A and B are shown apart, each in its own frame.
Chain A
Amino acid sequence: MSQPIVEYRGISKYFAGVRALEKVDFSCRAGSIHGVLGENGAGKSTLIKIMAGVLRPDAGEMLLDGRPVSFAEPQAAADAGIVCMFQELSLVPDLSVADNISIARPPRRFGLIDRRAQVARAEALLARVRCEDIDPNALVRELSLSRRQMVEIAKALGRDPKVLILDEATSALTARDVQTVYDLLAELKAQGVASLFISHRMHEVDQLCDTLSVFRNGRHIETFAKGDKSERDIVRLMIGRDVEAQFPPKPAPVPAAERGAPLLSVQGLAWQNRLNGIDLAVHPGEIVGLGGLDGQGQKELLLALFGVLRDVEGAVVIGGRKGIPGSPAAARSGRTRIALVPEDRKTEGLMLAMPIADNLLAASFARISRGPFIDPARARKAVDDGIERLRIKTGSASDPVMTLSGGNQQKVVIAKWLMIDPDIVLLNDPTRGIDVGTKQEIYRLMRELANAGKAILFYSSDYAELIGCCDRVSVLYGGRVVSEKEGDQLTEEGLIAASLNIDVEAA
């Protein structure tokens, strides 16, 4: 076994007295792909932020190639060969792809940035990640999320990493790109690069990594070779207790003829070039999933139903009434109330700097007011109920919502919407980047809502989730529903085939 390239000795880190990492000893070896697992708040991101020079430890030391190092800023870590791809993309949208790839250390001529050399360099690196389709002169803002993530990977490669850290780096990638990234990591491994791979997708980590480490509550619990432990054991290590079946039981499927009138029915929905005639129906008590590759119109469909998009065409009937709400305000307060848990909770779901209470009440000012005035007693009760119902772990409702962990933040978004007692709930990848425990709570809550007669439309980038949660799944491709799966057809193979628009049954 080769010797550790990065080693932590007794590293601790506190935020305002709260422990993020406690006396962590950890090491990773050159030429390995090392998976790091743990719930949100387990200390994974603090671990890598220290490595990447974003944070400095309060105690302990870090060794690189056996020598103690301390990085004052990210560039120092990058210069030492530690390259990090963060979950929040580190690309600058208004600069070109080529600018971004060579951002801090561009090729120069006469002291100035050499644009031509920069483009050539970008082309070479994009070719290495098999993204020749990306124009190096395009602005990053013009690219889709999955393309941006590939640019991010090209940028990391261009920094000649000795240690490559991937923090949820594949969360938005298409299947083809994920394969490309896997191949690349294998290639880097052969060259002696150490890769640290952080992901919430268990099967991904399992497939890719040779070594796994589990973190919990700021402590390093255990490191072991792949295959030494079962998936169930690993989950137990992560959450510190046994887990029951991941998904709550589904009710017996109702035959199409007996479902009655749908609460939401959509026909020929079209918008720009992104939605090209969507047909869909959701009945009370149903969870309908939206499947397919990333960027096939799932997000736009949810936004369209919530009144965010302009010039949407097609016939939509909501609770017996024709027409799409004109705005989120109308969607929220119509006779059939609609709620949307948006894609990005940090910018679209929450006012991060504001108190938890204000975030919880943001959709229901009208319900807790008498005339123009807020009734403080009703407001307090609504907040307490919301916190209790979702079991949000919080010190005080007047703390800013950004002090909560990711999972609890998402619970605040959901609790906000439950306060208006919605009839239709639209969920846009609500479990992306949150921990296993909270995921399970969300699954259970979804089923509870469905059982209470709500109609739920659920987009997820995780196939296992769609299969486990949904009564039916509509697979989108090119802004159209290409396939609808239910019952026995609802399998991973079936969903993948439909996502790629291959008709397996006919073949």
Chain B
Amino acid sequence: MRLAVSPENKPILIASLFVVAILFAGTAYTLSTTGTAPLLSPGYLLQQLQTGSFLGICAAGMMMVILLGHIDLSVPWTLTAAAMTATAVGGEWALPTALAVGLSVGLLNGFGVAFLRIPSMIFTLGVDTVLRGLMVAQTGGFAPQDSATPLMLYLAKERILGIPVAIFVWAATSIVIAVILTRTGFGRSIYATGSREAAAFLSGIRTRLVIVGAFVVSGLCAATAGILLAGYSAKAYQGMGNSFLLPAIAAVVLGGTHILGGRGRYAGTVVGVVLIVLLNSVLSIMQMPEAGRQIIYGAVIIGMLLVYGRNQRVTS
């Protein structure tokens, strides 16, 4: 019997199978070496997902932008800037400040890409550099006050019913994004604009506002991840966002979202994040050196995309 799987869902299915395969392979390894199976213990998995939630939230925002056929390279320093200003402000204004940073960066990115029509690849890169410059200039290499507020610590580290709060934050973000994408005019307009901007514009969709909106969501997501990460590390520090950019893009793409925009489902991005997080933890358990990690990382992305099948050849 053959199951009919729509092209949209095929990558999600394959990625899910791969997640299971990673769990099996990792467990087989630990059983053979230490005789234990930490990968299958709920406690360990929850802890992995807790750290994975930072990446998950970044990827959620990144997906909105990638669906438009754009990209947000400013995620690392948006995340860092939000975390650093939040801890510097401190108190109950920490979170609103962080989100305001994310919002402003999103507005700036959206303005540059939608209104000035500068390619997002280069404009968000410039914004990222400027944010880095601002942080370096403002703090002079050290943060005046860099410890996380109690609320940040709570969000990142505490647990409710044994489940880390960070996972709830990720889940809430996911629900919001999924509802936006499937059930709102804004979400459908993102797909339309990403698929063919001229046609969307001529259908009366305000494509410029759609683009700004997507970048704002991405900025807010990066800021949220920054709040959590600062809480998790108990402080904000320079370069804390550097390791999130490429995995976030990879998670979105492994989840089946088309890098040129217009196609992709949010569930795929969640699976993509879980895949990357588990792959990382299995490699840590194996004590894989950095060189091997990088190679496996690259090979998995290529391999998965080869399995997902092929783009249509251009004939017309």
Contacts and interface: CB of A to CB of B under 8 A. Distances in A.
A and B touch in the complex (CB under 8 A): yes
Interface stretch (A123-131, A196-204, A327-335): A327-335
A366 B205 CA distance: 10
Nearest to A351: B195
Nearest to A90: B316
B31 interface: no
A347 B199 contact: yes
Interface in B165-221: 179, 183-186, 188-189, 191-192, 195-196, 198-206
A333 to B, nearest CB: 7
B204 A349 contact: no
Given A347-B196, A363-B203, A353 B186 contact: no
A358 B188 contact: yes
A328 B200 CA distance: 10
Nearest to A417: B203
Contacts of B185: 365-366, 369, 372, 374
A361 interface: yes
A351 B196 contact: yes
Given A358-B188, A365-B188, A366-B185, A353 B263 contact: yes
B315 interface: yes
B262 interface: yes
A377 to B, nearest CB: 13
Given A329-B206, A374-B188, A88 B199 contact: no
Given A333-B204, A352-B196, A358 B316 contact: no
A372 B186 contact: yes
A354 B262 contact: yes
A375 to B, nearest CB: 9
A329 B202 contact: no
A331 B186 CA distance: 19
Which bucket holds chain A's interface residue count? 20 to 34
Given A366-B185, A369-B185, A372-B185, A351 B202 contact: no
A354 B195 contact: yes
Given A354-B191, A358-B192, A365-B188, A328 B199 contact: no
A350 interface: yes
Nearest to B184: A372
A241 B59 CA distance: 57
A463 B27 CA distance: 75
A150 B99 CA distance: 57
A356 to B, nearest CB: 13
A110 interface: no
Contacts of A416: 203
Given A328-B204, A342-B202, A358 B184 contact: no
Given A86-B316, A332-B204, A351-B196, 19 more contacts: A327-B204, A328-B201, A328-B202, A328-B204, A331-B204, A340-B202, A347-B198, A350-B196, A351-B191, A352-B195, A353-B262, A362-B188, A362-B199, A363-B204, A365-B188, A365-B189, A366-B185, A372-B186, A376-B183
Interface of B: 179, 183-186, 188-189, 191-192, 195-196, 198-206, 262-263, 315-316
